[in-house]
Amino acid sequence: MLHITGTFIDEITHDIPAQNWGAKEWARDFDAMQAIGIDTVILIRAGYKHQATFASEVLSDRVGILPVYTDLVDLFLTEAERCNMRFFFGTYDSGHYWHSGQYREEIEINKAFCDEFYERYGDRKAFGGWYFCHEINTYDNNVMHVYEDLSRHLCGLCDVPILISPYIKGIKQFGTEAISLERHIQEWESVFARIEGLVDIVAFQDGNVPLAELPHYLEANCNLARRYGLQSWSNVESFDRDMPIKFPPIDFRKLRYKLEQGDRAGINKLVTFEFSHFLSPNSAYPAAHQLYQRYREWLQL
Amino acid sequence: MLHITGTFIDEITHDIPAQNWGAKEWARDFDAMQAIGIDTVILIRAGYKHQATFASEVLSDRVGILPVYTDLVDLFLTEAERCNMRFFFGTYDSGHYWHSGQYREEIEINKAFCDEFYERYGDRKAFGGWYFCHEINTYDNNVMHVYEDLSRHLCGLCDVPILISPYIKGIKQFGTEAISLERHIQEWESVFARIEGLVDIVAFQDGNVPLAELPHYLEANCNLARRYGLQSWSNVESFDRDMPIKFPPIDFRKLRYKLEQGDRAGINKLVTFEFSHFLSPNSAYPAAHQLYQRYREWLQL
Amino acid sequence: MLHITGTFIDEITHDIPAQNWGAKEWARDFDAMQAIGIDTVILIRAGYKHQATFASEVLSDRVGILPVYTDLVDLFLTEAERCNMRFFFGTYDSGHYWHSGQYREEIEINKAFCDEFYERYGDRKAFGGWYFCHEINTYDNNVMHVYEDLSRHLCGLCDVPILISPYIKGIKQFGTEAISLERHIQEWESVFARIEGLVDIVAFQDGNVPLAELPHYLEANCNLARRYGLQSWSNVESFDRDMPIKFPPIDFRKLRYKLEQGDRAGINKLVTFEFSHFLSPNSAYPAAHQLYQRYREWLQL
């Protein structure tokens, strides 16, 4: 049975409340990750609008940033090194350029921002991948340009894999706007045909479709990835999309079911969004402490 | 002064986040229930859409269910027996048949499902009642058929009481669509005239109307029940309907007021929705721990 | 560097869930306030609709109130005295009169209610100010009457300062209905011209505008207050307005930034809405415990 061996880190967030951890609390949480076999951490984005995870001169010059009081990239690299984990660096999300026709601006900022990251932290032992934070659910020509141009640029810097984590345009998030499984496959045929050889790993989010339909999506996603030479990971969401509170830790039964189905479909690796809020014994949500217990009991970890 | 002596158990939920308890955590919570005098637990529904509380062949065949990892019915019966409590079994809610014209399907599934429950668990010492999970707020002809047919069927199985827990079409949930107290009384005259002798206990939810109007509703509900030979319980909601977060534990002052008014109106028994999330010292919500303390201090328990 | 030296107390609330504290829990929280230098507590409202903080005969007669089980005004005065703090008494909010043309009714109730408070608690050592709970974001002629008439009445009772805490009609709360900084200044020129000499302290809420624009608003607010002879405090919100959950404790980075900007702008005193839920080591929100730690570490308290 496949275990969860990777997690996103969401410390510059769009919609998840801050836990306000300091260095000591982060170290304790990396210990908890390691205790269940996590070997990969993915910084979901290194900058978002006016926020940054390190004191980036690039972002400061090009978009203006709020003060950075703690170098989170250094902190997470240090913890990843201490715990023998691989660190994926998430790119910058302006919050608007790539949603409009100005995607070239998003590309240019990110090239310079990744250069800056690579110059500062590229020799760190834990650094082992890029994560493209620009999430899509269907074919999007502008974002294809972002992926293509950025991928070519980063391949010039170093040889580490590139990860994306798309969402499914499913009924749980889009209601009547949701698309069918057939349409999902068509859309992602078009995406993968375009980015084959430029992106190495695809980890679809697994929480946008009803549980009963998930096996079909996992199978389709694995087949698609295989045909285009991508590794197929699953982003096993550990938060619950079915509740009026956005978002609490997921019901263990749902998590277990999704993990079992990912394993059955032949997924290469299971990662989660995300450990520290929703699956951690240190989480600000007490239900996450219990989820961690149930998860460990189940896998006898 | 009447105490809370019953609680719903909401472990297959519509809108309350999972606490992810295992058997040990449930045992601890039954201890806490017992410590304040709870003698009745009501499983709010034994199945909901594709989820089930035990590995039901009936639901598996007729609607398809997700894997059942723990037999919750056995777990709750075992705990209820250990703590000398009575257990009410909540029926299956398809989530759609009974909202449409297909209520006959809802009835047929539930007959077979209750038969299956009764064959498996009917001899358990704690089993002591049925709970009809199909909640209404006004007269609904389709649901009358559900209550009637199912009640007649279950009376053929054994002689235990049948409980319903309607809601009031009140301003706190329905705004301008809310109905007046007079209209509420008319509607429930029609319901009770139809189900007299088929349903034994009615526990109106007490959180849908403003606190200041609650005494009038409690009085009206008690009178109605008495005239039609039903026992009158009150479902004292221990969550707060007045907050933007849906739902936190209620303010103790509101809880106490509702309990006092229930006592004054001549309610036969007070139950709550529900102990484990909103009133328990073990809840994932820390405010519930304090609510438990305030409740115990007040009643010197 | 200016510290947070005051907090609101929100124990009759509009939208913040109850923590269900008793006298012992409140005492412990006043200890925590004192430990970081808080010398001022502001009861946000002493009555709201049918709820009251003490068994007021005035409110009972004029609007009808629910039972008051604990005299919170006495409790907070007692704690403030024990901890050498100043207590501001927040007025009554009917929830409707002052939003309609019936503001005269709001004034009359409040005159009698403040008289009643003053008669009962006016000689208490901690009592040191009035807080007008009727919040506005722009010029409002009806509320000007409330401020004027009530201020004149209270000046006849005793000589303590009067505080208001307006909000900014900013983009984070009002979206496309938000007003510009220029318009904000014009509106508040009109307000201050009207209430000069009648209100002593203005503490604008600091969470309604984007962080990047906050420095301009703080500067403008300080200038305005100075020109009209008011003290300029800042109401540094310790809850997060950027999350789908309404409301969690704020991200420490945002809190620190807002405090630094308040200090830089020449604010006279920093207060927060509010300590006990969002910044306290005793909060029902675990993220608040961490926020308290981060805050203390930063200021070496």
Tell me how close the Cα of B19 comes to any Cα of chain A, in angstroms.
5
Residue corresponding to tokens 């901690």: C126
Cβ(B71)–Cβ(B54) below 8 Å? yes
CB count, 10 Å around CB of B181?
Answer: 15
Tell me how close the Cα of A50 comes to any Cα of chain C, in angstroms.
8
Q: Which helix (H) or strand (E) holds B6?
A: strand B4-9
For residue B180, the model assigns a pLDDT of 97
Using the predicted structure, report yes or no on whether residue A101 has a pLDDT greater than 90.
no
Among C212, C248, C250, the residue with its CB nearest the CB of A50 is C212
Cβ(C2)–Cβ(C263) below 8 Å? yes
Residue corresponding to tokens 């604008």: C204
Which tokens sit at A272? 């989660």
Using the predicted structure, report yes or no on whether residue B116 has a pLDDT greater than 90.
yes
Using the predicted structure, report yes or no on whether residue C100 has a pLDDT greater than 90.
no
Note whether A244 contacts B19, CB cutoff 8 Å: no
pLDDT, mean of residues B216-221: 98
Cβ(B36)–Cβ(B88) below 8 Å? no
Using the predicted structure, report yes or no on whether residue C267 has a pLDDT greater than 90.
yes
C247 cis-preceded (ω within 30 degrees of 0): yes
Note whether A69 contacts C253, CB cutoff 8 Å: yes
Alpha carbon distances (Å) from C190 to B127, C182, C183, C243:
70, 13, 11, 33
Which tokens sit at A193? 């045909």
Using DSSP, state whether A73 is helix, strand or coil.
Answer: helix
Chain B: residues touching A (Cβ < 8 Å): 15-22, 25, 50-51, 64, 66-67, 69, 245-247, 284-286
Cβ(B59)–Cβ(B92) below 8 Å? yes
Identify which of B104, B106, B109 has the alpha carbon closest to the alpha carbon of residue B96: B106
Among A212, A256, A294, the residue with its CB nearest the CB of B22 is A294
Cβ(B31)–Cβ(B83) below 8 Å? yes
Using the predicted structure, report yes or no on whether residue B69 has a pLDDT greater than 90.
yes
pLDDT band for position B207 (cuts 50, 70, 90) = very high
pTM: 0.97
Beta bridge pairs of residue B89: B130
Looking at beta carbons, which residues of chain A come within 8 Å of C252? Answer: 18, 20
pLDDT, mean of residues C97-105: 90
Residue corresponding to tokens 């946008």: A208
Looking at beta carbons, which residues of chain C come within 8 Å of B253? Answer: 18, 51, 66-67, 69
Neighbours of chain A (3+ CB pairs under 8 A): B, C
Looking at beta carbons, which residues of chain B come within 8 Å of C16? Answer: 243
Note whether B20 contacts A257, CB cutoff 8 Å: no
For residue B100, the model assigns a pLDDT of 82
Angle at C180 between CA C176 and CA C181, to 5 degrees: 145
Which tokens sit at C11? 């124990």
Looking at beta carbons, which residues of chain A come within 8 Å of B287? Answer: none
Among C20, C22, C64, the residue with its CB nearest the CB of B287 is C20
B74: Cβ contacts below 8 Å, ≥ 6 apart = B54, B121
Note whether C290 contacts A22, CB cutoff 8 Å: yes
Mean pLDDT, chain C, rounded, equals 97
Neighbours of chain B (3+ CB pairs under 8 A): A, C
Chain A: residues touching B (Cβ < 8 Å): 211-212, 240, 243-245, 248-253, 256-257, 260, 285-287, 290-291, 293-294, 297
pLDDT, mean of residues A138-161: 97
pLDDT band for position C233 (cuts 50, 70, 90) = very high
Q: Is the dihedral of CA B211, B215, B221, B224 positive or negative?
A: negative
For residue C297, the model assigns a pLDDT of 98
Sheet containing C47-48: order of strands:
C51-52, C47-48, C92-93
Cα A57 to Cα A136: distance, rounded to the nearest angstrom: 28
A151: Cβ contacts below 8 Å, ≥ 6 apart = A162, A195, A198, A199
**C124 φ/ψ angles, rounded to the nearest 5 degrees:** -70, 140
pLDDT, mean of residues B180-190: 98
A22: Cβ contacts below 8 Å, ≥ 6 apart = C290, C293, C294, C297
Cβ(C225)–Cβ(C202) below 8 Å? yes
Cα C133 to Cα B175: distance, rounded to the nearest angstrom: 26
Beta bridge pairs of residue B42: B8, B88
Among C17, C64, C66, the residue with its CB nearest the CB of B245 is C17
- Per-residue pLDDT tens for A183-201? 999 999 999 999 999 999 9
Interface test with A, best of C294, C295, C297 (most A CBs within 10 A): C294
CB pairs under 8 A between A and B: 59
Using DSSP, state whether A132 is helix, strand or coil.
Answer: strand
Among A16, A64, A284, the residue with its CB nearest the CB of C212 is A64
- Per-residue pLDDT tens for B279-299? 999 999 999 999 999 999 999
Q: What is the DSSP letter of A250?
A: P
Looking at beta carbons, which residues of chain B come within 8 Å of C21? Answer: 290
Cβ(C237)–Cβ(C207) below 8 Å? yes
Q: Which residue of A has its CA nearest to B69?
A: A253
Using the predicted structure, report yes or no on whether residue C291 has a pLDDT greater than 90.
yes
CB count, 10 Å around CB of C297?
Answer: 11
Cα C198 to Cα A72: distance, rounded to the nearest angstrom: 48
Interface test with C, best of B171, B239, B252, B259 (most C CBs within 10 A): B252
Name the region of A72 (left: φ>0; alpha: ψ -120 to 50; beta: rest): alpha
Looking at beta carbons, which residues of chain B come within 8 Å of A294? Answer: 20, 22
Identify which of C204, C194, C128 has the alpha carbon closest to the alpha carbon of residue C164: C204
Angle at B164 between CA B163 and CA B170, to 5 degrees: 150
Among A25, A66, A246, the residue with its CB nearest the CB of C211 is A66
Note whether C249 contacts A15, CB cutoff 8 Å: no
Task: Please give, one letter per residue, the 3-state secondary structure of chain C.
Answer: CCCEEEEEECCCCCCCCCCCCCHHHHHHHHHHHHHCCCCEEEECCCEECCEECCCCHHHHHHCCCCCCCCCHHHHHHHHHHHCCCEEEEECEECCCHHHCCCHHHHHHHHHHHHHHHHHHHCCCCCEEEEECCCCCCCCCHHHHHHHHHHHHHHHCCCCCCEEECCCCCCHHHHHHHCCCHHHHHHHHHHHHHHHECCECEEEEECCCCCHHHHHHHHHHHHHHHHHCCCEEEEEEECECCCCCCCCCECCHHHHHHHHHHHHHHCCCEEEEECHHHHCCCCCCCHHHHHHHHHHHHHHCC
Domains of chain A: 4-299 (3.20.20.80)
Tell me how close the Cα of B256 comes to any Cα of chain C, in angstroms.
9
Among B17, B19, B51, the residue with its CB nearest the CB of A243 is B17
Cβ(C270)–Cβ(C4) below 8 Å? yes
Chain B: residues touching C (Cβ < 8 Å): 211-212, 240, 243-245, 248-253, 256-257, 260, 285-287, 290-291, 293-294, 297
Tell me how close the Cα of B242 comes to any Cα of chain C, in angstroms.
7
CB pairs under 8 A between A and C: 59
Burial class (CB in 10 A: 0-12, 13-18, 19+), B113: buried
Note whether A22 contacts C286, CB cutoff 8 Å: no
pLDDT, mean of residues A283-288: 98
For residue A274, the model assigns a pLDDT of 98
Which tokens sit at C112? 């009698």
Interface test with B, best of A241, A245, A292, A299 (most B CBs within 10 A): A245
Cα C174 to Cα A237: distance, rounded to the nearest angstrom: 32
- Per-residue pLDDT tens for C59-80? 999 999 999 999 999 999 999 9
**Helix ranges restricted to H, chain B:** 23-35, 57-62, 72-82, 103-121, 141-155, 171-174, 181-195, 214-227, 252-265, 275-278, 286-299
Using the predicted structure, report yes or no on whether residue A99 has a pLDDT greater than 90.
no
Chain C: residues touching A (Cβ < 8 Å): 211-212, 240, 243-245, 248-253, 256-257, 260, 285-287, 290-291, 293-294, 297
Which tokens sit at A158? 């170093």
Interface test with B, best of A246, A290, A299 (most B CBs within 10 A): A290
Cα C285 to Cα A19: distance, rounded to the nearest angstrom: 10
Beta bridge pairs of residue B272: B7, B236
For residue C99, the model assigns a pLDDT of 85
Q: Which residue of A has its CA nearest to B14?
A: A243
Cα B258 to Cα B263: distance, rounded to the nearest angstrom: 9
B217: Cβ contacts below 8 Å, ≥ 6 apart = B168, B170, B181, B184, B204, B206, B209
ipTM above 0.95, yes or no: yes
- Output the DSSP codes for A266-280: T-SEEEEE-HHHHT-
Neighbours of chain C (3+ CB pairs under 8 A): A, B
Q: What is the DSSP letter of B188?
A: H
Q: Which residue of C has its CA nearest to B252?
A: C20
Cα A230 to Cα A166: distance, rounded to the nearest angstrom: 14
